[in-house]
Amino acid sequence: MKIAVAGTGYVGLVAGVCFAEKGYDVTCVDVEEKKVELMRKGISPIYEDGLEALMQKNNAAGTLHFTTDYTKAYKDADAIFIGVGTPEMPDGSANLSYIATVSRQIAETIEKDCLVVVKSTVPVGTNDKVEQFIKDFLVHDVKVEVASNPEFLAQGTAVRDTLHAARIIIGTESKEAEALLKKIYEPFGLPIVSVKRRSAEMIKYACNDFLALKISYMNDIANLCELVGADITDVARGMSYDERIGARFLNAGIGFGGSCFPKDTKALKFLAREHGYQLKTVEACVDVNLKQKTRLFEKAKDRMITFSGLKVAVLGLTFKAGTDDLREAPSIDNLKLLLAAGADVYAYDPEGEERARQLFPEGGLEAGTMNYTDSIEKALDGANICFVFTEWPEIKEVKPEGFKERMHTPLVYDGRNLYSPEKMKAAGVEYYSIGR
């Protein structure tokens, strides 16, 4: 069976590589020739654990191909998976222009009956429109059906989440489409939940927004813990034993980021309002997360007379450990504020530096300066204040004494609750975290 995948971001590339790993003949399509050339050499454009090794393995096996020639990739494919981006518009709605572009390309090039599968996160009802759009522009007399197959991978564990998913969600409108999609996923040996297309689209949003709600709820409780003298880590531990609640997504911090939760909460909020309904819980989640991102900066601002001319160490730039993605990362909001306030920032991140440089070039900016270091030690040496934004293992391993010995003023604002308040105090570090 021949499979084509449109888009080589986190969704498309991981899907394509994993399909090849299961023995399919897979062609991944992207518009950037330089990116395609790198992928042909087995070099991944994104940092994902295990992804590059699988790319190289299946490139060598001849089951994985990369091209900018969508005509060749789509014309005789049995199934085409769409994994292009659906970025957020200024009003919170999803930008479907990339979906539309790929849909028209498919319509104008396929020469045999084909199942088109939308993996991208799209508003409910989009798959209906995609199917009609493709049929409107069909060049050849072929049968086309569109299915929904949302992804549930987490960045940093995307390959594992795809190959060992808790379940596969498929949304179809015919038995034939359902049977073909089940056949494609048969080698994965995973539970399949088969529903109608619109239900599959809603499942994606409902899952992501529920997890985002859980995070924002814990952050809200953490902020209250600070006021009443409770410890959010103790509270979370007590909650985790309740099977109705579960142990995951209970860690308080400086809010969620990435390509999914921020975008999907806003998109569902927009979708509801479009239909005359207000999702009050989701809207509250969005508001809580926005304020949470800069909570530590506001604490530090109350503590300091000024940031101007101070060396500020920033440990961690990506929105979470295990990825090089900075989209909606809390570090971005804080860096903007710190630099505008005149701080001399020295940032360390094991994977995110290259992408960060695109947003914050090194050197003197309007007020402060942006600097990147290749070690935690260089960031901390002589620093007046330190912010921790990402829970990378090497950042977790910094001892309280390390802050005390290296910093000019051992003042630490920890957005991931990585360190023990008692141990930091005992080492002579002035330490602030979330909900403790």
**What amino acid positions are annotated as catalytic residues?**
260
Question: Is the CB of residue 109 less than 8 Å from the CB of residue 137?
Answer: no
Please give the Cα distance from 74 to 133 (Å, whole number): 16
Retrieve residue 230's tokens: 């409770």
Angle between helices 126-137 and 197-228 (to 10 degrees): 140
Smallest CA-to-CA distance from 32 within 80, 81, 66 is with 66
Retrieve residue 359's tokens: 């947003």
Please give the Cα distance from 263 to 249 (Å, whole number): 18
| 3-state SS class at 99 | helix
Helix (H) or strand (E) holding 380, with range, is helix 376-380
Name the strands in the sheet holding 25-29, side by side, starting at the edge strand that comes first in the sequence.
64-67, 25-29, 2-6, 79-82, 114-118, 144-148, 168-171, 192-195
Question: Is the CB of residue 320 less than 8 Å from the CB of residue 293?
Answer: no
Rg, C-alpha atoms of the chain? 24
Query: For residue 103, what are the CA distances in angstroms to 82, 199, 352, 377?
Result: 9, 21, 33, 50
Retrieve residue 53's tokens: 């090794």
| All residues at 6 or more sequence positions from 52 whose CB lies less than 8 Å from its CB, including other chains | 42, 43, 44
Helix (H) or strand (E) holding 195, with range, is strand 192-195
Distance of CA 379 to the CA centre of its chain: 26
Please give the Cα distance from 1 to 185 (Å, whole number): 12
Please give the Cα distance from 154 to 212 (Å, whole number): 13
Smallest CA-to-CA distance from 38 within 3, 68, 70, 83 is with 68
| All residues at 6 or more sequence positions from 288 whose CB lies less than 8 Å from its CB, including other chains | 216, 219, 220, 255
Question: Is the CB of residue 275 less than 8 Å from the CB of residue 267?
Answer: no
